Chain A
Amino acid sequence: MVEMRNAVVIDDEQDICRYISSILEEHGFTTRTANEAETGEELIRNEPPDLICLDLMMPGRTGIQLFVRLKGDKSTKQIPLVMITGIKEQLNIDWAKIAGGLRTRKPDGFIEKPVDPVRLMRVVEDVLERPRDNVQYG
């Protein structure tokens, strides 16, 4: 029996959370969801997942702060992270600026709203297949 992959989806919008987790579940993931950054971080630290889907634009910059914390922590920085964002020009984003001046890694992948299931899974598979050493730095 193939071991099921584990994903954590964090988005303040409950319906989008459910939508993305539903897509992932259909592709063999078990998912846990959280609508706040703190709860999501708790889920990640309790049982590190194989994949994190994180909404960038959560109230009070909590999405960005969680991203900076996860990528700055040895125990979580290797976990593939797909950033859910409405920002199209994510390639041009100054991540150091967004992270409040901190030098940080880039997210491993981006999925832009509106979320297309096929595209989401292409990004997820791409991220998961990428060697962990070959990460990009912002």
Chain B
Amino acid sequence: MSSSPAVPVGGSSKDGTGARRGRRFLPLFYKLSFANKILTCTLALLTFLGAAGTVVFQLVLRSRLYDEVAASTQLLAATNAQQAGEPLARGDGEQLTALAAKAVQLDDTIAYALFFDRDGEVMAHTFEWDPPAAVLREHSVPSPMGESGYRRVEILGETYLDVSAPVIAGSRGAGRIQLGVRSTRIDAFVGQLNVLFLSVLAGLTAIGLVGALVFFRRFTRPIMELTHLADDVSVGNLEVDFDFGVPVRCWAIKGCSQTDCAAYENTAVQCWFVDGTPCEGYEPRFPQKLAGCRTCEVYRAHKGDEIVQLYDSFRHMTQVLKTSRDEIERSDRFQGSLIRNSFDGIIATDETGMVRIFNRVAQNLTDYAEDEVVGRLTWDQIFTSEVRQDLKRPLFQDGSKVIFGFYCQEKAIERKDGSKVDVRASGITIREDDRHVGRVFFFQDLRELKELKEELIRSERLAATGQTVASISHSVKNILEGLRGGAYVYQRGVRTEDSQIRGEGWAMVERNIDHISSLVADLLNFARDRRPDLEPLDPNDLVSDVLQTLRPKAAALATSLETDLAPEAAPWSLDAHAMHQCLMNLVTNALDATAAVDEAWVRVSTQVTPDDELEIRVQDNGPGIAPNLGDELFSSMVTTKGSKGTGLGLLVVHKIVAEHGGIVEVDEDHAPGATFAVRLPRGPHELPIESRPAAPMLTGG
């Protein structure tokens, strides 16, 4: 992946180069303040205009003066040309010389005079020596007759206006006259006028500059103040002081008499910044209330020119920043308090992995002080190394973003002394715009939880053991009571020689011997951890055998025993002894449940389900099973038989069925009455380990 070249902020490189070039050429100009820039530009413009005006003025004025002097000289030349027509036609050099001298004498601005004949030969002149070549050269090309005009010539470094006029003799041209006028005076005059013009211009410029200076100083002062305020704000000082614009007197404008309002007669504040003003129709707090305040006459009265509006906008901006800062500080304090006082350990790092937040619980758990970790340790010096991989795993989707990390996993953290502490931890990698910005970890100390859990297990085990012992003791006690009673009644029969009473007593003894046999069988079945001794059996035979055994009991209770046996159930892999005990318990329970029921019945059915399971159902029309017993029916010593029950029967049923790889459950669809359904897979099958029920009384401490 290639990185793009750095581009200067604020514009293209081309613009940047141009700007740099400009700054190089005008370094001083860019250092000037805004006002001085304008002044400098104004000065440069005025100077340019003055210079240009001077040049133009000089050119125009000089040209006009030249024209004027040339025109008057032209008249003089024409006068002399009239007088010189005859002598020139005759070729009278002396008279022409006299005329030339006279022309020079009559007007002291005339420096020289020359007469040329028709062929351009000099006939007379006023020079003390030969006429300068410049004068002659200028006129070496014969001009057409009648032509007049002037031109400027240089003679010995001095400029002259050389004016010529034709000399007419009769009706034809005889030659011409050239008069030279010194331009020095004109130039001096023009120079004086230039000086005057420039002086006036300089004076006006100076006055203009001073005026502009004052004006721009006043104009840019608020901008400078705002610049300084912006500088303050930019470094975080939001407590800047404003004193600009018309003071707000809302109470006066609105005729308000709410003297307890913070804005009342308080010109130091502007009412739209004051929270909870009693004005109606506005939001109570800034900045929400500003939208309403903008339509208020108080705000409109305050609103001034662009500078005032700029100040107001700046003030609003500062106030919003202050409100936001206060809100952020409040939120920050709140979050800080949450983090500090959290029941969980919290560690947060920056993008480099350096710890930045290390709360109290984290300190207690690791034994590090906050200043020993923050800015000094990285997270992987606290958490063990497997956390690194876990942090890269996708955890959940937040909108379009995938959050990486792990949730509620058991990890170890390293304490200051190098020992490890087990914690339950969650860790998240924080990303913003696909950029890694840090990580955060939450964790709970598991030591106490584990101790509590172990304590709970110990307590539960003790409680279960106690319950088991109490239940069995109770059963044994009842059986002993029955035996004692049987013996007493038998002895009474012997004493009274009453054979009926004797028979009653003996029957009681026998019955209780049966009870204790059954209890011992249940205990053994429950306690033994064994594999079932499977053999192919006809389950229907087993059912018949059990019912045959219990028929006297059913008869005593006046309960009818019914069967619905499916012949296809045979053969099935069953442990004959265990399954006999299992069915005995279920049918005995069913019979006991029907003791107080008229027209009672117990029905046992077998069938092979579509899932190829043997299903044995034991159903009765007794009072049914209380719904709240459902969960613990097969997991604890539950009895509804009072002193007659041990609560072991269904535990034994569950264990035997589980040993066969099957399940036993209460079929609630057949209420009233209770229906127990035993479902056994076709064997042979392995005993699922998790199906072995706990035997707390024998394994517990």
Residues of A within 8 A of B (CB): 12-13, 15-16, 18-20, 22-23, 26, 35-36, 55, 57-60, 86, 113-115, 117
B504 and A13 within 8 A (CB): no
Cα distance A60–B579 in the bound complex, in angstroms:
30
Cα distance A23–B486 in the bound complex, in angstroms:
11
User: In chain B between 472 and 516, which residues have their CB closer than 8 angstroms to a CB of chain A?
Assistant: 474, 477-478, 480-482, 484-486, 488-489, 492, 501, 504, 508, 511-512
B552 contacts which chain A residues (CB < 8 A)? none
Question: Looking at the complex, which one of B474, B480, B512, B596 makes contact with A114 (CB distance below 8 Å)?
Answer: B480
B489 and A86 within 8 A (CB): no
A115 contacts which chain B residues (CB < 8 A)? 481, 484-485
Question: Looking at the complex, which one of B474, B488, B512, B643 makes contact with A117 (CB distance below 8 Å)?
Answer: B488
B644 and A12 within 8 A (CB): yes
Q: How far is the CB of A15 from chain B (nearest CB, A)?
A: 4
Cα distance A16–B504 in the bound complex, in angstroms:
12
Cα distance A79–B488 in the bound complex, in angstroms:
27
CB-CB under 8 A for A59 and B641, given A18-B508, A23-B488, A117-B488: yes
Q: How far is the CB of A128 from chain B (nearest CB, A)?
A: 21
A22 contacts which chain B residues (CB < 8 A)? 485, 488-489, 492, 501
Q: Is B640 in the interface zone, CB < 8 Å from A? A: yes
A19 and B643 within 8 A (CB): no
Question: Looking at the complex, which one of A12, A19, A58 makes contact with B489 (CB distance below 8 Å)?
Answer: A19
Q: How far is the CB of A121 from chain B (nearest CB, A)?
A: 12
A26 contacts which chain B residues (CB < 8 A)? 492
B477 and A86 within 8 A (CB): yes
Cα distance A19–B641 in the bound complex, in angstroms:
20
Q: Which residue of B lies closest to A38 (CB)?
A: B596
A15 and B486 within 8 A (CB): yes
B642 and A114 within 8 A (CB): no
Cα distance A113–B485 in the bound complex, in angstroms:
11
A57 and B642 within 8 A (CB): yes
Q: How far is the CB of A82 from chain B (nearest CB, A)?
A: 16
A15 and B640 within 8 A (CB): no
Question: Looking at the complex, which one of A13, A18, A23, A60 makes contact with B643 (CB distance below 8 Å)?
Answer: A13
Question: Looking at the complex, which one of B485, B492, B640, B645 makes contact with A16 (CB distance below 8 Å)?
Answer: B485
Q: How far is the CB of A114 from chain B (nearest CB, A)?
A: 5
Q: Name 21 interchain pairs, CB-CB below 8 A, sorted by A.
A: A12-B641, A12-B642, A13-B481, A13-B643, A15-B482, A15-B485, A16-B481, A16-B482, A18-B489, A18-B504, A19-B485, A19-B508, A22-B485, A22-B489, A22-B492, A26-B492, A58-B643, A59-B642, A86-B474, A113-B477, A113-B478
Cα distance A13–B478 in the bound complex, in angstroms:
8
User: In chain B between 635 and 680, which residues have their CB closer than 8 angstroms to a CB of chain A?
Assistant: 640-645
B504 contacts which chain A residues (CB < 8 A)? 18
User: In chain B between 339 and 382, which residues have their CB closer than 8 angstroms to a CB of chain A?
Assistant: none
Cα distance A122–B696 in the bound complex, in angstroms:
41
Q: Which residue of A lies closest to B509 (CB)?
A: A15
A19 contacts which chain B residues (CB < 8 A)? 481-482, 484-486, 488-489, 508
B485 contacts which chain A residues (CB < 8 A)? 15-16, 18-20, 22, 115
Which 7 pairs from chain A and chain B are nearest by CB?
A: A19-B485, A59-B642, A15-B482, A15-B508, A22-B489, A12-B642, A58-B642
Cα distance A55–B481 in the bound complex, in angstroms:
13
Cα distance A132–B296 in the bound complex, in angstroms:
94
Q: Which residue of A lies closest to B486 (CB)?
A: A15
Q: Which residue of B lies closest to A12 (CB)?
A: B642
Cα distance A93–B239 in the bound complex, in angstroms:
76
Cα distance A114–B640 in the bound complex, in angstroms:
22
B640 and A12 within 8 A (CB): no
Q: Which residue of B lies closest to A39 (CB)?
A: B596
Residue of B478, B481, B486 ringed by the most chain A CB atoms within 10 A: B481
User: In chain B between 96 and 142, which residues have their CB closer than 8 angstroms to a CB of chain A?
Assistant: none
Cα distance A114–B482 in the bound complex, in angstroms:
9
Question: Looking at the complex, which one of A13, A57, A60 makes contact with B640 (CB distance below 8 Å)?
Answer: A60
A59 contacts which chain B residues (CB < 8 A)? 640-642, 645
B595 contacts which chain A residues (CB < 8 A)? 35
B488 contacts which chain A residues (CB < 8 A)? 19, 22-23, 117
Question: Looking at the complex, which one of B489, B492, B643 makes contact with A55 (CB distance below 8 Å)?
Answer: B643
B481 contacts which chain A residues (CB < 8 A)? 13, 15-16, 19, 113-115
Q: Which residue of A lies closest to B508 (CB)?
A: A15
A57 contacts which chain B residues (CB < 8 A)? 642-643
Cα distance A115–B482 in the bound complex, in angstroms:
10
B512 contacts which chain A residues (CB < 8 A)? 15
Q: How far is the CB of B490 from chain A (nearest CB, A)?
A: 10
Instruction: Kindly list 16 other residue pairs between chains A and B, CB separation below 8 angstroms, not including A59-B640, A59-B645, A114-B481.
Output: A12-B642, A13-B478, A16-B485, A18-B485, A19-B488, A22-B489, A22-B492, A36-B596, A57-B643, A59-B641, A59-B642, A86-B474, A86-B643, A114-B477, A114-B480, A114-B484
